[in-house]
């Protein structure tokens, strides 16, 4: 069949589906979250589906505080799904921004996105969602496209500064893999070269050392040993954070997550110049407050322009880390266009390690498996 765009619901929330005979991608209009990437006809969703019920963000003032608590994080978590866009900060807002109604990870996940257009031409189906961020004065557009016989969804993201001054900001494609995909253990690879662990103690369940440089893939542990970043989960319970620099010699950043229990792998590919950082957030049955309740197994694979999910002031004052800018600039009335892709592959035999991708000029290729992603 041709690739097609259709209206659907996902966990009782309105959504748009993009599908062909191979894969299906689902995007929520409430928050603009990419909620699912899975095989056509069903199967495991590689992305995070929280165990709690969620609502569209325009209904968040009606959430049950017994379920979500009364924190700003609870408002975000009440409507979150899979892959959320964090803009114009990745992490915390300032006290004044919170007083103005902003919460974790910026506004994009807290507003309703509008269907602008859709169609099918040149052997591909596509649709466009847009939104305006009222407090941070940004216009955001995403164009999703899928070829008739493809296993890769391409996403073109356009952001426009609606104010007449240059601004320091951060953006993260907060792609989070979920419990169904990770259960039993998953294999990872990426093209990072160096990294740094979270800069201060943050959680009693953390296992990695604090404020430590490392060379990929060996992350230093608090006890003096090292962990292999490519394996997750590694222990029964943990909550850890690190950031990694995508190799400056590469034109594209990428990661692969492969799961032998499902014989399935998800691959993300993006422009390295736009998003030089890959931050990892691990929640492995460690957070006990509501709505977590110790029930979530996730791994956030968060590629972006912010080095850390902290706040604007911290990243601007830091300036650089590992000789790489820790935030981005958006000039007065400037429009930026960036792109990334999401691929889903099936395989027949268990993998001993997640494949590595090599840049062949017009494609990223995993030579051990034959996977190819056009760039």
The full set of domain ranges for the chain reads 4-374
User: Is the N-terminal amide bond of 233 cis, ω within 30° of 0?
Assistant: yes
Average confidence (pLDDT) over 293-304: 98
pLDDT of the residue at 326: 98
- State the average pLDDT for the chain: 96
Q: Across the strands, what pairs with 186?
A: 232
Q: What angle do CA 152, 157, 158 make, to 5 degrees?
A: 155
DSSP assignment, residue 354?
Answer: P
pLDDT in tens, 256-270: 999 999 999 999 999
pLDDT in tens, 35-91: 999 999 889 999 999 999 999 999 998 988 899 988 878 888 999 999 999 999 999
Contact yes or no for 252/364 (Cβ under 8 A): yes
Token pair 């062909």: residue: 20
| DSSP H stretches of helix in 89-240 | 95-99, 179-182
pLDDT in tens, 128-166: 999 999 999 999 999 999 999 999 999 999 999 999 999
Distance CA 302, CA 170 (A): 12
Q: What angle do CA 295, 267, 83 make, to 5 degrees?
A: 45
pLDDT of the residue at 176: 98
Domain at 4-374: CATH architecture: Distorted Sandwich (2.70)
pLDDT of the residue at 93: 87
Average confidence (pLDDT) over 1-30: 97
Torsion angles phi and psi, residue 208, rounded to 5: -80, 155
Tokens read off for 228: 């292999």
pLDDT in tens, 268-279: 999 999 999 999
Distance CA 194, CA 190 (A): 11
**Would you mind telling me the total number of residues written for the chain in this entry?**
375
pLDDT of the residue at 139: 98
For residue 308, is pLDDT > 80?
yes
Torsion angles phi and psi, residue 77, rounded to 5: -70, -20
Q: What angle do CA 309, 115, 50 make, to 5 degrees?
A: 45
Distance CA 26, CA 18 (A): 6
Question: What is the per-residue burial (b if ≥16 Cβ within 10 Å, else e) of 345-371?
Answer: bebeeebeebbebeeeeeebbbeebeb
pLDDT of the residue at 278: 98
């Amino acid at each position: 069949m041709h690739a097609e765009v259709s209206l659907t619901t996902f966990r009782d929330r309105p959504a748009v589906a993009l599908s062909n005979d191979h894969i299906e991608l689902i995007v929520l209009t409430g928050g603009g979250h990419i909620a699912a990437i899975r095989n056509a006809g069903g199967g495991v969703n590689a992305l995070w589906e929280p165990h709690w019920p969620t609502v569209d963000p325009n209904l968040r003032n009606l959430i049950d505080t017994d379920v979500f608590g009364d924190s700003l994080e609870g408002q975000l978590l009440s409507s979150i799904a899979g892959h959320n866009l964090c803009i114009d900060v990745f992490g915390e807002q300032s006290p004044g921004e919170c007083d103005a109604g902003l919460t974790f990870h910026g506004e994009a996940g807290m507003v309703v996105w509008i269907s602008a257009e859709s169609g099918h031409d040149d052997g591909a189906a596509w649709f466009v969602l847009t939104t305006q961020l009222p407090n941070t004065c940004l216009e955001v557009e995403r164009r999703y496209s899928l070829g008739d016989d493809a296993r890769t969804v391409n996403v073109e993201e356009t952001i426009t500064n609606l104010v007449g001054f240059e601004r320091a900001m951060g953006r993260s494609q907060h792609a989070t893999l979920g419990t169904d995909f990770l259960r039993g253990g998953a294999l990872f690879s990426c093209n990072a070269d160096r990294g740094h662990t979270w800069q201060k103690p943050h959680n009693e369940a953390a296992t990695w050392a604090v404020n430590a440089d490392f060379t990929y893939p060996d992350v230093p542990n608090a006890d003096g040993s090292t962990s292999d970043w490519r394996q997750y989960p590694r222990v029964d319970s943990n909550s850890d954070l690190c950031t990694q620099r995508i190799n400056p010699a590469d034109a594209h950043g990428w990661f692969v997550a492969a799961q032998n229990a499902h014989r399935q792998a998800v691959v993300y590919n993006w422009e390295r110049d736009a998003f030089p950082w890959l931050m990892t957030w691990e929640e492995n049955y460690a957070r006990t407050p509501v709505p977590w309740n110790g029930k979530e197994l996730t791994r956030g694979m968060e590629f972006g322009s912010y080095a850390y999910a902290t706040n604007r002031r911290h990243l601007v004052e830091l300036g650089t880390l590992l000789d790489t800018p820790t935030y981005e600039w958006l000039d007065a009335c400037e429009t930026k266009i960036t792109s990334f892709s999401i691929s889903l592959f099936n395989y027949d035999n268990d993998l001993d390690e997640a494949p590595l991708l090599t840049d062949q000029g017009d494609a990223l290729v995993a030579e051990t498996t034959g996977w190819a992603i056009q760039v």
